[in-house]
Structure 1
Amino acid sequence: MTDFKRIAEIYAAFPDEMRNFSSEEKSPLRSPIDTMRTRYWYEGLKQRTHLSTAYALEKYFEKESFQRNSDGTIRHYRSKWEGYDNDLNTPKSKTLKRVELLAPGSTREVEHPLWEIMRHVAKKDIELDTHMRELSVDVQEAIYSSGFSGLCAYSKREPVTQRLLDKLEKRASLDSMACLICLILEAIQQNRDSTAVKTANTLHNVLLMIGIELQSRHIALPFLDWVIRHILPLGVLPHLKVSMVSSDYVQASAYLNAMVYQNKSRRGKSLEWPQRVKVMHRLIHGKMGMDVEFAMRPRFELRSDIKDISPEDIKDFESASKFRSWGWKCILEGRSEPFPPAELFL
């Protein structure tokens, strides 16, 4: 299956999942973060193995769970994996080790530093640097540089500049997303509001890129809801509030990822994730037309509880809204316009 067809199928199934998500009851006894990380791991294994049921996965990864009769037929099995499928259990270390042998890297998905960061985001004493040092090598290469003291090497943090943020955006992944969340929290701790705004904008771009892949693992809605509630508001100008919801991100991500394959040289092909990110980065930053650039910018509302918003801020908000609407009109109508019409500048 080509990437384009896969993206289309994921997005086509999204409305049904959205309805189910809004109506289903959440267990008060189970952490939403445990539910998300288990689901991310479980769906990843389904994609790797092309096995669609808990029964098939358990049989593949834990054959010893099945007790057999003398003729080889299955007499009993533990149904442990149905608990993962039904969001009731989180895999223990013993299971993870067995699965890791057949699916290298899968343990990292369920034990990723991102989940721990999410657990502790509200704590004032959260060890952000400790969490960032647990991230992937490519992300650490972006945020740390090496120094020497005699014969000993040490690492030191790089300043949070637009260049560093661009590096993290070009590495769009769970790791870069976790890093950006840490940088936003750090900026708030240090009262660097402008840095928080710039970093939140980069996080927005990363969410646009990975949103459809989160949906392929069936965690897009709860995860994006969490980010929209706990993280993005920390990096917004004082007179604005975030007005995008999780479904907006999934829709934008589906279109953005699909647009990668509109080019004749990429049509009908499948690309490695870093290659796809490279093209999406160019799309988001207007290298292939300003219509996509404006469409993919964050959507805000003016805060109704602030009475003295300056005329300049109101004008900037209205202008950004017009350009964003124009960009989406182009995308939804299947038109490609490299520059906005002159009347939008009036």
Structure 2
Amino acid sequence: MIDFEEILELHTKFRTAMQNVDIAKKIAPNRDLVEIVRVIFWYEGVRKRSKLNKAYALEKFFEPQSFKVRSNSDKTSYRCKWQNYEIGLHTPQCRLLKMVDLILHGSLRELHHPLWDILKLKPNRSTLSENYLQRLNPEVLAVLLKQAEDVEGHFERARVTKTLISKLKKIANLDALAALVWLMYEALSDKNQKRCESLTRSIYDVLLMRSIWWEERKLAAPLLTLFTQRILSQCAPPHLIFNMSTQEIIDASAALNLMVHIDQGSSHIGLSWLQRVRIMLKLLNGRRTLPGLAAFDVMFAFAPIYIRDPDDITTPKVLLDDLQLQEKQRKKAWDSILPDKTRSLPKSEMEPPH
């Protein structure tokens, strides 16, 4: 489990997280960002689990046949394939993926995780069908499906309720995120604005809890870019647009995870991910606070930021007044949080969203 110092280190590294992605986009400008992300996610997982920290070492271990001594010299040449995987420029071929998966079981699913398909700019018809849900892990499927009453051994879709959405939030892993995004697209298709907004808020909450951790794979910035541009902007309340940068979300994610440490003190070390999620959700819902903070400070500070849609000239005055009130509440809450509760975060590195 990430401890206090590791969260601070990950937050500091965030500012350079887009470096490899920027290189890949410059070389292959038409390559979808999600394709770059999933290859880097796979590569970093392989690198971490193998304890081979360089692309050279990984290629030599997994593909030693690539290394050949030149006939006219003593120098060794190799194809430098893994350097391209490191920046997400090329996707590994099936043969290599299967061979790596035999050694590091589960690595193949990381490259082909269902989340990547639902994050594409235009998810295909298969992804948006109910068959997609069968690709999610059993823990998430157990939430989405229920035993049919009339046919033994047959399962059917559970009704999408606040309870179901809450259960997915409490899991808060990649599969749960994929399920929430899929349900959001379903709500969009059904023109169910209320459900769509509820699902979008749940996706946002999971991002707050999870995104600082993605920096372990150097992907917090590009993954949040995918979510802010392709998902969180889909279901804004009427007359409004989502208006938070990746930096603002990662700042909030780091602070929220640090609050678990502050809340639990030294006892946080033995907490599982699900236990940490329960604490963070209570903080976000105003049902738990820290010494010196008002009951709803965390809830106000970490709420998603929406602004008036500049192309909408029909925005009611009461809504504009409410936006001003939310901004005052957010600023006051952050003023309470920053000086004491996250004092180990350099203020130059973390500012309240605005």
What TM-score, normalized to structure 1?
A: 0.86
Change (3 A) 1:234 1:52: same
2:87 is equivalent to residue 97 of structure 1: no
Paired residue for 1:327, among 329, 333, 336? Answer: 333
Structure 1 counterpart of 2:115: 114
Structure 2 distance, partners of 1:285, 1:189, is 28
The corresponding residue for 1:189 is 189
SS at match of 2:315: coil
Q: Secondary structure at the match of 1:322?
A: helix
Q: C-alpha offsets along residues 227-284 of structure 1, whole Å, 9 cap, x if unaligned?
A: 2222222221111110101121111111111221113444672644333323222222
Q: Does 1:48 align with 2:54?
A: no
Aligned to 1:298: 304
Look up the SS of the partner of 1:159 in the other structure: coil
- Alignment-mate amino acid for residue 262 of structure 1: I
Distance between the aligned counterparts of 2:50 and 2:273, measured in 1?
19
**Could you list the runs of 5+ residues in structure 1 that have no partner in the other structure?**
337-346
> Which residue identity does 2:324 align to in structure 1?
E
Spell out, residue by residue over 1:202-240, the C-alpha distance to the aligned partner (whole angstroms, 9 max, x if none).
Answer: 000011111112222222222222222222222211111
Q: Closer, same or farther in 2 for the Cα pair 1:197/1:146, shift >3 Å?
A: same
Matched residue of 1:301: which SS?
A: strand
Does 2:182 align with 1:176? no
CA distance in 2, matches of 1:126, 1:301: 31
TM-score by structure 2 length?
Answer: 0.84
* Most deviating of 169-178 and 46-55: 46-55
CA distance in 1, matches of 2:81, 2:122: 31
Instruction: Give 1:77 deviation, angstroms.
Output: 3.8
Task: Tell me by how many angstroms 1:21 deviates.
Answer: 6.2
Matching residue of 1:317: 323
Tell me: CA distance 1:146–1:189, structure 2 relative to 1, closer, same or farther (3 Å): same
CA RMSD of aligned residues (A): 2.7
1:211 aligns with 2:207: no
Q: Distance in 1 between matches of 2:176 and 2:197?
A: 17
The residue correspondences of 1:146-165 to structure 2 (distance < 5 A) are: 146-150=147-151, 152-165=152-165
- Residues in 2 aligned to 1:125 and 1:100: alpha-carbon distance in whole angstroms: 25
CA distance in 2, matches of 1:174, 1:214: 11
Segments of structure 2 that go 5 or more residues without pairing to the other structure are 290-295, 343-354
User: How far, CA to CA, are the matches of 2:43 and 2:275 in structure 1?
Assistant: 25
Aligned to 1:341: none
Residues in 2 aligned to 1:203 and 1:27: alpha-carbon distance in whole angstroms: 30
Query: 1:25 and 1:265, CA in 2 relative to 1: closer, same or farther beyond 3 A?
Result: same
Aligned residues: 332
Percent identity (aligned)? 32
| Letter paired with 2:13 | A
Cα deviation per residue 1:146-172 (whole Å; 9 max; x = unaligned)?
11545x422211222111111111011
